[in-house]
Structure 1
Amino acid sequence: MLGGGDPGDPFAAAHGVPVKALIPVGGVPMALHVLRALRASRRVARVAYVGPTTPEMDGLIDEGVTDHGTLLSNLEAGVEALAGAGLAPGERVLVVTADIPLVTPGQLAEVLDAAPPEAALVYPVVRRGDCERAFPGVKRTYASLREGTFTGGNVFLLDPRLIGQFLPRLRAVLAARKAPLQLAALIGPGILLKLLTRRLTVRELENRVSALLGVPARALITGHAAIGTDVDKDADLRLAEAHLKADVPT
């Protein structure tokens, strides 16, 4: 689970905590909601947590990992911690960010059940309509494909044996994301044109990502909006607070 962050993050600082994952939601750190969902899903054998914690979180964590400062470095450190503790043959790693406090145990279990077993990397995506029905007014970043308009999830499943193979390639893609010509060269002009004109299919995108990363990658369309709804700003925080309060039995 990824709970690290920039120590200079103004959102976290405004709420008096060192990183965003520790911002209170419903009276407890938002990361604690995600940890509880992971444990209650009964599908997770061990939890490695990357980033600072609180005592109430520690009882739900098996491997505490120091924040390495970047998303990919934290991902690598978390997977290495789990591998060092011992992974069974064929066991995969579920990577979850700590800023999705509305996710439920059942939603995580359903994603794991639906993930294609042959894929080394499985990335859930959520349709825009599902997000807006679940959380009216929510603001997310979307991409339009032939099958619909989607936002990316904040969980993914990977084969830890292949992380050394695709992480260097993923770093190259992320490094190019703000350089349009470099990114176009990586993605390929034909794929980029189809994406911009909304003619790209999910299968074509999967095939291109698989080729880029060198491992079989698959998208998983899920109707669970909470998986694609992270807390990045005060409006998101208010939304999460409201929904958590509405779910409390009276």
Structure 2
Amino acid sequence: MSGHSKWATIKHKKGALDAKRGKTFTRLIKEITIASRQGGGDPDANPRLRTAIAAAKAENMPADNIKRAIQRGTGELPGATYEEISFEGYGPGGVAVIVEATTDNRNRAVSEIRHTFSKNGGNLGEPNSVRFMFSKKGIIAIPKEQADEEKLMNIVLEAGGDDLNDEGDTWEIITEPSAYEAVAQAVRDAKIETTMSEITMVASTYTKLEGATANQMIRLLEALEDNDDVQNVYSNFDMDATQMEEVAG
């Protein structure tokens, strides 16, 4: 497991996301609102909304919060009008980075993201400068003590997943986005706890970073993720697991 997925798994382990629950809820509410605006408020007929609601429930978001976010998206309740913006660029060591933002102020978002890149050893690139290196996949990371390989492989095969990878102390299920919801539900039905479960962007190749360059890359990721407009950050960096644990601590 490299880059974004490894980093996200470690942050889950250490409870870093729990400390930012407010940020997590804000990100999910924006996603629900936009999904409702674009595809309607019925999750049965709106796959993006269905996925967003499942993610919100996984974070124990109250049902009333989800309902209000849907109603703001469909126009039943007043609320901010969000715009989706995607940025592509390079981090320390030439690592490819994609940033997905949802904002009510485009100029502010562009200025802040550009500043964050330059302040942390990176720079923004042109559209499609790095996106070709990534493909959208569902990833479900499971601690090995939660389930054995045979049990998980049966879930992958029966629910339509693509692959099951051994990532040291973690199993990693890979799915196509269209199969993600069914596989994630099968894992939940089996009462198996996960450290990460989401649709993300997976790189085709990875760039290994070490020492100060690796630390600078982590600082860039953290700075981007701390921005209130940023929804998701994807990269193709890899680094030694021990160093990543130390940085995450």
* TM-score category (smaller protein): under 0.3
Of Structure 1 and Structure 2, the greater helix share is in: 2
Of Structure 1 and Structure 2, the greater strand share is in: 2
What is the TM-score when the length of structure 2 is the normalising length?
0.28
